[in-house]
Amino acid sequence: MGTTDIACAWVTGDVRVTVPPTLRVRLNGRLRGGVSAKDLVLHLLAQPLIREGGAIGHVIEYQGEALLDLDTDERATLTNMAAEIGGFTGLVVPDAETVRFVKERRGADLTLEPWMQGDAGAEYAHTLDVDCAALGPMLARPGDPGNGVALADLGAAVPIHIAYLGSCTGGKREDLRRAYEVVKAAAAEGRHIPEGVQFFVQCGSEDVRRFAVAQGWMAAFEAVGAVVLGSSCGACINAGPGVSSHPGQVTISAINRNFPGRSGPGQMWLASPATVAASALAGRIAGAEA
């Protein structure tokens, strides 16, 4: 793993193989409670190197201590959103968490091999360092996933009309769990989503939905007034409930992208699943502590 800033190539028989350059992202330190992989990616997307196209066509290789705070679902958010970074693909070196996941979800035993690690002394096209201990919940302002802003720096209140929790990035087990941790107290106390706000929950697969039902998470979402949708691609591709209907609507969403018209004509903010759930309950963009 790791390449120089010029893509390497070699010839095997009649096949020419080109290796893309690699962007190394070092996640230094440990994540604060309530900070997720989505917050990490929104932070990265706001960095000048990435905003200026410096990662286009690269392999995005994530390293660092903060990976210990992320299960495989969360790591999948990092690699899934390599596309928004401009990358060819994203990867995380397998470790004990990978072994656990493969055993739990696939019923298979995985043995970590030396070749699964990066080469000693590997060269990288670029390196980005993230001080994870200093990172808080993030947002992306409407128009581009690179319009990152820390939730703490938002300033004036931003009322919302739609909160959408779902998609391949925001509808995994861990995404639902983190959102549930936000709504469970409200559900127990009989509190509801404010009038004028719609909260949609759409699992990324039927397997996720069945798991969430068994855990009691879906019952809590419904108790606060969320609309639970069938598992499918939805608002992320401008289809079905959760899509805005006019430019004056404001949506906060757990999907990947918020380019104009991506999910209707309204103004879409991107956020983590926990921030989406907290905002749905508050009726404005808000963090889980609000």
Q: pLDDT, tens digit, for every residue of 46-91? A: 999 999 999 999 999 999 999 999 999 999 999 999 999 999 999 9
- 230 class by beta-carbon count within 10 Å (0-12 exposed, 13-18 middle, 19+ buried): exposed
**pLDDT band of 169, cuts 50, 70, 90:** confident
Residues 262 and 177 in one domain: yes
Last residue of one domain, picked from the residues 136, 155, 183: 136
Check residue 16 and give its pLDDT. 74
Query: Which of the four pLDDT bands, split at 50, 70 and 90, describes residue 11?
Result: low
Task: Give the pLDDT mean for 136-141.
Answer: 98
Quote the crossing angle between the two packed helices 206-215 and 173-189, to the nearest 10°: 30
pTM above 0.85, yes or no: yes
Residue 164 and residue 40 share a domain: no
For position 245, which CATH number holds? 3.30.499.10
The per-residue pLDDT of the chain, averaged, comes to 92
Q: Which of 247, 60, 23, 252 is nearest to 140 (CA)?
A: 252
Phi then psi for 23, rounded to 5 degrees?
-100, 120
Instruction: Examine the fold and report which residue of 91, 108, 136 is the final residue of a domain before the chain moves on.
Output: 136
**pLDDT at residue 238, rounded to an integer:** 87
CA separation for the pair 93, 81 (Å, rounded) = 17
Residue 282, H or E segment: helix 273-282
* Percent of the chain clearing pLDDT 90 (strictly above): 84
Residue 170 and residue 76 in contact, taking contact as beta carbons nearer than 8 Å: no
Range of the domain at 100: 8-136
Q: For residue range 91-101, list pLDDT tens digits in order.
A: 999 999 999 99
Which strand (E) or helix (H) includes residue 78? helix 72-80
91 in a domain, yes or no? Answer: yes
Residue 15 and residue 122 in one domain:
yes
| Cα three-residue angle 184-199-240, rounded to 5 degrees | 140
Query: 13 falls in which pLDDT band (50, 70, 90)?
Result: low
* CA dist., res. 148 & res. 120, Å (int): 34
Q: Mind listing the pLDDT tens digit for each residue in 207-238? A: 999 999 999 999 999 999 999 998 888 888 88
Q: Where among 120, 136, 152 does a domain terminate?
A: 136
Nearest one of 8, 19, 21, 7 to 54, comparing CA atoms: 21
pLDDT of residue 288: 85
In whole angstroms, give the CA distance from residue 256 to residue 42.
10
Q: Which residue has the higher pLDDT, 16 or 24?
A: 24
- Residue 187: its pLDDT value, please? 94
Residues 191 and 236 reside in one and the same domain: yes
CA separation (Å) from 162 to 134, 177, 253? 30, 20, 8
- The per-residue pLDDT for 232 is 81
Q: Is the pLDDT of residue 126 over 90?
A: yes
Tokens found for residue 173: 């087990």
* 253 pLDDT more than 90: yes
